[in-house]
Amino acid sequence: MTKYGDRIALLREKHALTQEELAHKLGISRASLSHYETSRREPDYDTIAKIASFFHVTIDYLLGRTNKSDIVLDQDVREFVDQLELSDDAILEKFSLTVDGNKLTPEEAKRFIAFVRAERSLK
């Protein structure tokens, strides 16, 4: 999967812009843009939205969810995906979760979900 940084760099180069020029147009520092392009830092939502708007592509394209820069997930599909409850046994059986290329067992997936919930409760 293409990283968001690669996509940002490709779009910038396609439009014959330097990092300095694009950073200025987006209202961010050149250093920040460089970090985004090398995937050392993740841009916040507002910055991703600015980049997508500037290049007339979708956020899904920038994030590597699709290879089509102008296709937006149908609203019903987006709502469904956003509301999936990964701890539901039916979902765990239907979709495989992987870590380091290895499929998680249902028990590992449940422990992973429990870990995330515990971490969130500490914040």
In the chain, the domains with their CATH numbers are 4-62 (1.10.260.40), 84-122 (no CATH)
Percentage of the chain exceeding pLDDT 90: 35
Helices 19-26, 30-37: axis angle to 10 degrees equals: 110
The 10 Å CB-count burial string (b at 16+, else e) for 67-104 is eeeeeebeeeeeeeeeeeeeeeeeebeeeebeeeeeeb
Q: What is the mean pLDDT of the chain?
A: 82
* pLDDT tens string 27-57: 999 999 999 999 899 899 899 999 998 998 8
Contacts of 12 (CB under 8 A, 6+ apart): 18, 19, 22, 37
Closest CA to 106 of 116, 120, 115, 95: 95
